[in-house]
Structure formats: C-alpha cells, structure tokens
Amino acid sequence: MICGKATIWAFGGMLMTMVAIGLGSVACQGEGGQVKLQITLQPQKVLHRLDEKIYGHFLEHIYHSVHGGLWGEMIWNRSFEEVPSGRGIWRVEGNELVQEAIEPGVRLTFGDPNWSDYELSLEAQKLGGNEGFLVFFRVKSERDYYWLNIGGWGNTATAVERSIENRRRVISSFRPIRVEQGQWYKIRVRCEGRRIQAWLNEELILDFNDDENAHLTGKVGVGTWLTRAKFRNIKVTTLDGTVLFEGLPEIPKHSTARHWQGFGEGEVYITRENPLNSDRCQFIGVQKGEAGIRQSPLYIRANEVYRGSIWVRGEAPNGLTVRLKDGDRVIAEQRLPAPTTEWREYQIEFKPAETAENATIEIAAIAPAKVWVDQVSLMSESSIKVGGFRPDLLEAVKALRPPAIRWPGGCFASAYRWKDGIGPQHKRQVYPRHLWDDLEVNAFGTDEFIRLCRIVGAEPIIVINIGTRAWNGPDANEDEFLQDAMDWVEYCNGPATSKWGSVRAANGHPEPYNVKFWEIDNETWHMGPEPYAEAVKKFATALKKVDPTIKIIACGSGGLGWGDLRWNRIVIERCAEFIDYLSLHHYEWNPNGYDNGPYAFERFIRETQKIIANSRNPNIKLFISEWNLQTTDWRTGLYAGGLLNVFERCGDVVEIASPALFMRHWFSGLTPRGDREWDNAFINFDHKTWFPAPNYVVMKLWRDHFAPYLIATEGETKPLNAVATKSEDGKTIYFKAVNPTQQVVEVELVVEGDNIVKNASMQLIAPTSLFARNTLEEPKQVRPEPSNVQVDGRTVRFSLPAYSAGVVTINLP
C-alpha cells in the first residue's frame, strides 16, 4: 500500500484514491475497503468563536408535547373543549336534531348499509360557524362515502364529494351557493344507479353520473364542517315512495369530550350552557344509581400523593364521587359534597397504596343529580415539587442542557393569544384552533415557560403572532395584534409599576423576566417577502419602544425546497437595520439524506451569509430555528451530528439553532394506517416513560463536548463530516466526527505544536444498522459507549466503524 497526500473521490458508489507522494495529511485506501486519514489539528489557529446557543431547542405545543406531556397535569382536555374528530356534539330539541361543535368533518350516519336507490330529504339551518351543511349518502364506512357539501370551501360553493379509503375528491361541478345563518333550507338528494341529483329549496342544482368506481349502496347521514347547525324532517324513501326512514336518528347515549368516556344509565353530554371558561363543559344527569365520566390511562404510583380539583355546579343532594381505579378495582376514592347552583371548586387528594400503570379516574354523580363539570385537574406531588413539570421529562430536557429554548411555535405561534395563558388556571381560555392532534387548554403559558427556562438554564426565545389572516381569520386587525405584542414585551420585561408588569407581579412574579429574543411570527411565506418586511419594520419599531434592549428575529426562508434565497434577499434588503437575526428552517424530508443533506444546507447558509455581508447590516446572524431529518432511526443521529458540525463550521454567522420536534407523545398524531406524522422527535414518551431518539443521543454527546473555539485542521477529512474545537483554556481539544459511509475509517490525529498529548478518550455511537432505533421497551439500543484510542506523543489513533458518530477528547498538559 502506498500512502501519501491524498484526495478520495467517489464514482458510481466506488471509492477511488488519487495519491500524491509527500508529507502532511493523508487519506488512503486501505486493505478490506478501509479508509485511512491523517489529519493535523492546529489549536493555535482559531477560525472563530462558537456560541453555545447552536445547541438550543424548540418547544412547540405539538402532539401533546406539553398538554399531556412535559407539563405535569395528568388530565387531558381538562376543560372539555376538544371534541372527538367527526363525532360532534349532538342533542335532540323537540323535533330538531342539533349539532353544536365547530369542528371539521362532523357526521352522524344512520340507516341500512344495503340501501341502494333512494331519496333523502331534510331541512337544515345554520346556527353559526364558517360553512354550511354536509348531507351524507351511500355511506359504506367511515372511509367510503359520498357527501353533498352545501356552502363549503369557506361558504363559497356547493358540490358532491366522494371518499374512497379516506381520500376525498370532488366528482360534480361546483355551484356558487353559500348558506345564510338562521334560514331553513330544504335539501333533497336522489341516487339511482350511478346517477346522482341534488335539489336545494326545490331547485335542481346538480345532476350527473358518477364513474365506474361508484359504489351503489350505503347508509345516509347529516353533518357539518366548522359549523353549528340543526336538522329536521329527515326522510328516506325508495324511488317508488316506500318510506325507509322518517324522523330523527338515534344519537349516542353518551356524548363526551375527547379523551373522556361516559358511563352509567343517565345522560352525559357536552354542552355550551354556561361553562366556567371558554366554550364548553360536561353535563351529567342521572335518576337512578350513578352516571359520570372517566379518563384513562393514568400512571399512578404507590404512596405518591396526587392533588387536584374539580369545578362543579348544579343539583346533586347526595354529592359526587371521584375515584381512581385499576381495572374494576377502586384504589382511591373521595366523596364531594352537594354542589351549589354556582360554579365552585372542590379540592381532591389521593394517596393510593398500590401502583397502577393504566389507572382510570372516574367522576360520578349520585342520583338524583343534574350537574355540570368543568376544569378537572390532577397532578402528582412529585410534579408540584419541580414546578409543575413531569419529573422524568423535565430531567430529559435538563440532560440536554439547552442554552436557549424557542416557544410557543412554530405554526402554533401564528394563532397564539398569550393573554389566554396567564393568570389563574380556571380563567384561562382555550387555544383558538385544533392543531397537531390537540386543542391546547393553555395550562402552560408565559409564566410556566419562563419557569422552565430558569430551571434548565435556558435563554427564552419568544415567537409573536402578528395577526396574519391566514391564521387568525379574515377579520384579523394588525393593530390589535401589534398592541398585543407590545403588551407581551411589557409583561415580560416591564417594571412591576407598568401596566402589564403589574399584571405579571399580581401573578406572582414581581421581577422582570428580561426576555431578550423576540421572533416576528413563523413561516410567514404565504404573505410574500415584501409585505412581511413591512410588518417586521412596524413590529420591530414598536417592540423596541417598549424595551430598546431586545433582539429582533425575522423569518427567513426554509431553503432547499421551502422557499429560496429570493425571500432572504428581499427581507434583508428591506429591513436589515431593523433586525438582529434571520431565522431559517431546514428539514431533510428524505431519511436517506443523512449524508449529503448537511452539506447542501451548509452551502445555503453560506449563500445567505453573502447576502447579509452586502446588506446595510452585515452584523445580522442566523438562527436555524427548525431543523431535522424525518425519521427516528439511526439515520437521524448521523444527520444530527453532521448538521451540528455544519453549525460549528458556520459559527461565524450561525449563532442560534433549535431542532424540531423536541418532544411528542408516542401515540399522538397517528395516521389511519398507524404511521406517525412528523416522526422525528428527540424525546418520545407515553404516560409512563420515555425514550431518546438517535438525534437526542447524538446531540447530547455533542453538547456535552462543546468547546467555544473552532480550530483549523489540515488535511482531507472526508468521507467524515468532522470538526475540531478547543476549550477556553486551550487544554482540551474535541474532535467530533460522523462516518456516514459503509466503510471503516481509520483516523490518525496529529496535534500541531510542542505539546505532547497527556491522554485521550473516545465516546462512540455505532449501531449495527442504519435502521437501529430506541423504543419505549428498549430505550438504550442506540447509545454512546467508550471506544479504544491509542496515544503516541502528539498522535492519537482510533477507528470509526461504518455508520457511526463519535467524539474524541484530547487532553493537553
């Protein structure tokens, strides 16, 4: 074998080596497909200083990361605001069927699945909301059906849609028909073979033949989309007039909020009748025995104290019972006194003597009773002692030592109203829309976020809502949102004598939070760069009037398919002097981009840096505020290590970074096939435990070996993605490397200078497969382990196996 100064090239997957005889660094093709590298570390040549905030994180309210996750509240949907998808809130009033939920795709289907040719007639009235009515016919299953969508598409059009395997498409022409609130509409649908006809107020509006994929039998139904409505005079007949159905369909015996179930012989339903806060509460009525609501699973530990409360009003002379059960066995129980007609909070406390991994909490009204329930809360003493957080998840966050945390979104920020999330818990209002498999009840708001940051030692970064109409509705007033943002800065940073500083003080926090970083909304690409730049100037000017010391972050593009340099160029050209940071997003959607993806984004960063350098404010830094690879197998670990190395190499312009997703409930956001939406979270958990994905494992290893100075290296580092850094005192060097190839790489590091290496060690992550992963059952399959290094004077030798990542620590005298 000949070794010399070399460059390695890859052609068609075959590694080729071009060798030039000489001294210095070496990259050689060894026996057995091994690659040998000789790299000189130059600790005296500092390229730039690194900011530890490149190891920041991003906490978004997504897939129950907070509600049902990091925040220690054990009750999901505690204020009964979220209703089950598609189920709605149904009740019968006289001869009318009323649906009260403003949710997408609400439906109530009934009849015989074998009905074929028939006519369905009914009357419908809109009570409120954004659209009109859904009339279902030929319903084979929840995934296969037809509906007549009257006043759909933002109440602009009417058409028939067909769903096959939950894939819905329009199969008729569109009619420009909208639905007015408070008016009764007569609706009739006729199915005859493949021919479908529809009438509205006795006028034929649609008449067409479906294609050969038509299914010709099925039940009927009524529903809504983001609308409240009522229905009457429902009738189904054969084409010769024989009545198949007439009247009102049977509604579910128990209508409960999502994550709750009803039990007993009484009436249990969600209602808008005088809730304690927001829009809904839960009604329980019973004349014999008991009836109520329950939720599971809860992880209950033996001899742990659990404290909470429940708000109740109504009549129940025999009171209510709140109990914890393990299966059918009661493990803790508390009787509540008879409620009054006004809302009142009742404290609950349990100390069960045994552990139940999948416990149930039940709230039962004892007959005779008519009560309304709202704001159910339960938290362990262990959570209360650590500030209200779930202890194991808090420790998982603390272990990463995040120097900064971005919050509350992401998309979540674009509709977030911060004032709904402060003050007493029972007065907080619900988030205005269902998003990411959740309807946030705002138990975790500004004060709780700052508390988290203080506990884990992170700098808070707050993303404000500028009131875009895409997220806040067509009537959104920018000036209202501008004032809201100014009030938020004052709440966080103003003295206790200021208007909103006094509110903060009244909430128990007299000292200002001094939040430094404020981001002007999130992914505002739908606005266009020119209008967004104007918004940045307006908001930045106003916010700095409240606190001139804050730093302003503007939205950049996503890069590599999510926007382009044009956005960055226009925003920087128009408002460079108003901002301190440009926020970029980068998601590698192809899980096999773990190798080249980081380098592609590195080029994008450098192109954006050129735009900044030629702007009126060349001091702008980059904040990579969202990044990740779309998988939770080992490929995301390789990608994380490679991209973190990019951030260190680009540390002269990249000052802050934070990946997404940070946390998610493992069983939230499942598709109908059981796949996970956005399966890339660092911290994955259920109600009992958690596991770190490979990106967490690598980022923790890199963070634990952070040093503030990037030093020069001489010689070819590829096929490794590698960087070298040194400590503040210069006595420790870290070499962080990712080997994204299937070859073993033998590395020889030579420390330039007179110092002899005192000692060296290595932490290596080397699973046997690209598809290795951690799970709830096996959380340590992907983990760092010590690996061999050899020290000889100024030389350190080690091996990086195929598809591995590791950190070598070199200590100098």
Would you name the residues annotated as active-site residues?
523, 626
DSSP 322-378: EEEEETTEEEEEEEEPPP-SS-EEEEEEE--SS-EEEEEEEEEEESSEEEEEEEEEE
Interhelix angle 529-546/565-575, nearest 10 degrees: 40
Q: Are 462 and 517 a contacting pair, CB within 8 Å? A: yes
At 538, which amino acid appears?
K
Please name which of 106, 107, 122 lies closest in space to residue 185, comparing C-alpha atoms.
122
The 10 Å CB-count burial string (b at 16+, else e) for 716-746 is bbbbbbbbbbbbeeeebbbbbbbbbbebbbb
DSSP 497: T
Q: Please state, in angstroms and rounded to a whole number, the distance separating the CA atoms of residues 405 and 663.
A: 13
Please name which of 92, 126, 90 lies closest in space to residue 271, comparing C-alpha atoms.
90
Tell how far CA 451 is from the center of its chain: 20
- CA 786-8-28 angle, to 5 degrees, is 60
Q: Which residues pair with 37 in a beta bridge?
A: 27, 747
Tell how far CA 190 is from the center of its chain: 43
Q: Please state, in angstroms and rounded to a whole number, the distance separating the CA atoms of residues 207 and 194.
A: 11
Q: Are 349 and 294 a contacting pair, CB within 8 Å? A: no
Q: Is 565 left (phi over 0), alpha (psi -120 to 50) or beta?
A: alpha
Q: Are 482 and 542 a contacting pair, CB within 8 Å? A: yes
Q: Please state, in angstroms and rounded to a whole number, the distance separating the CA atoms of residues 100 and 270.
A: 9
Q: Please state, in angstroms and rounded to a whole number, the distance separating the CA atoms of residues 172 and 178.
A: 17
Q: Is 509 left (phi over 0), alpha (psi -120 to 50) or beta?
A: beta
The residue assigned the tokens 């059009």 is: 157
Q: Are 546 and 499 a contacting pair, CB within 8 Å? A: no
Tokens matching residue 158: 């009417």
What are residue 20's phi and psi, to 5 degrees? -120, 120
Instruction: Find all residues with CB under 8 Å of 542, minimum gap 6, and list them.
Output: 482, 485, 486
Please name which of 377, 500, 397, 488 lies closest in space to residue 441, comparing C-alpha atoms.
377
Helix (H) or strand (E) holding 154: helix 152-155
Q: Please state, in angstroms and rounded to a whole number, the distance separating the CA atoms of residues 3 and 24.
A: 11
Cis peptide before 813 (omega within 30 of 0): no
Instruction: Find all residues with CB under 8 Å of 265, minimum gap 6, and list them.
Output: 286, 288, 289, 291
Q: Please state, in angstroms and rounded to a whole number, the distance separating the CA atoms of residues 123 and 107.
A: 16
Q: Are 671 and 67 a contacting pair, CB within 8 Å? A: no
Helix (H) or strand (E) holding 245: strand 243-247
Q: Which residues pair with 326 in a beta bridge?
A: 329
DSSP 672: T
Q: Which residues pair with 245 in a beta bridge?
A: 236
315 CB neighbour count, 10 Å cutoff: 14
How does strand 320-326 pair with strand 290-300?
A: unpaired
At 645, which amino acid appears?
N
Q: Please state, in angstroms and rounded to a whole number, the distance separating the CA atoms of residues 187 and 157.
A: 15
